[in-house]
């Protein structure tokens, strides 16, 4: 179970596959289970602080969660990755896009884009 410590909080993530990197943004990495993402890519799915296996207080606002995600992207050398936001993390994705300038594609469900 890999993790990175950001701002004193251990953030757990899953990493699998080989190929161009895609980051799957949801409250819990497990929210992507069974969604049918294709082979041929490397994936990183993060348990946001306070969710899943990660430490942290529940109830952080989307802008606060986005700061953790940005830290993860930098530390994992994933700032150029394709990023997809699950509906349960759409606000975090919007904050990353609008305020920080990171391109995030919002999804209607957990299925891969066409």
Q: Is residue 44 part of a domain?
A: yes
CATH code of 58's domain: 3.40.50.12270
Q: How far apart are CA 89 and CA 96, in angstroms?
A: 11
| Closest by CA position to 84, among listed 15, 49, 32 | 32
Q: What is the pLDDT of residues 9-20, one digit of tens each?
A: 999 999 999 999
Q: Is 67 helix (H, G, I), strand (E, B) or coil?
A: helix
Q: Give the pLDDT confidence of 74-101 residue by residue, as tens digits.
A: 999 998 999 999 999 999 999 999 877 8
Domain span at residue 14? 3-106
Cα(54)–Cα(92) distance, integer angstroms: 16
- On whether residue 112 sits in a domain, the answer given is no
Is residue 111 one of the residues assigned to a domain? no
Decide if 114 is inside a domain: no
Number of domains, the chain: 1
SS3 72: helix
Q: What is the pTM of this model?
A: 0.93
Phi/psi of residue 84, each to 5°?
-120, 135
Locate 36 and state its tokens. Answer: 């049918």
């Amino acid at each position: 179970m890999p993790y990175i410590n950001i701002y004193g909080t251990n953030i757990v993530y899953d990493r699998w596959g080989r190929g161009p990197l895609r980051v799957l943004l949801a409250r819990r990495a497990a929210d992507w289970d069974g969604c049918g993402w294709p082979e041929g890519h490397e994936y990183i799915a993060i348990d946001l602080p306070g969710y899943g296996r990660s430490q942290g207080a529940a109830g952080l606002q989307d802008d606060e969660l986005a700061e953790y995600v940005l830290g993860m992207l930098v530390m994992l050398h994933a700032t150029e990755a394709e990023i997809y936001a699950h509906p349960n993390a759409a606000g975090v994705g919007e904050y990353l896009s609008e305020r920080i300038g990171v391109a995030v594609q919002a999804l209607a469900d957990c299925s891969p884009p066409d």
